[in-house]
Structure 1
Amino acid sequence: MKQLNYTCPKCDNKTYQVSEMRATGGTFSKIFDIQNKKFTSVTCERCTYTEFYKTKTSGLSNVFDFITS
């Protein structure tokens, strides 16, 4: 994964962890349990302040999610 030049806005720490989260977007996706929204989170290792950034999902991952749900 690409390294970020990240500094925590709360405590000025420079160490962090990056994670991914998926969520449903609307009524249709909730009914069929399709997580069509994807977010990347950056969490400060010192104070645990977390920021979320919306990322793009591919159509293939949405289809795979629908089939496996």
Structure 2
Amino acid sequence: MEKQQYVCPKCGCTHYEHDQFQATGGNFAKIFDVQNKKFITISCAQCGFTELYKATSSDGWNVLDFLMS
């Protein structure tokens, strides 16, 4: 499989930053403040255009997150 290089669709820059964040999803998660949705972000280093990608999460971490909140 060939590795692809990032190219910003807005400005054409090839430099980027990546990060991740969690968010709540559904009424049950909102009531108990459980952040059960995980996303990876890819942001252009030049213009800041950001794409979100859904990340996989394990049920074990979701239960642990629920117990810690």
TM-score, length-scaled by structure 2: 0.90
Stretches of 4+ moved more than 4 A in 1?
none
Superposed, 1:1-69 pairs within 5 Å as 5-69=5-69
Bigger Cα Rg? 2
How far apart are residue 4 of structure 1 and its match? 6.1
Percent identity, aligned pairs only?
Answer: 48
Across the aligned residues of Structure 1 and Structure 2, the Cα RMSD in angstroms comes to: 1.4
Unaligned runs of 5+ in 1: none
| 1:9 aligned counterpart, secondary structure | coil
The alpha-carbon deviation at position 5 of structure 1 amounts to 2.0
Number of matched pairs: 67
Aligned equivalents of 2:62, 2:4: Cα separation in 1: 27
- Measure the CA separation in 2 of the matches of 1:13 and 1:27: 39
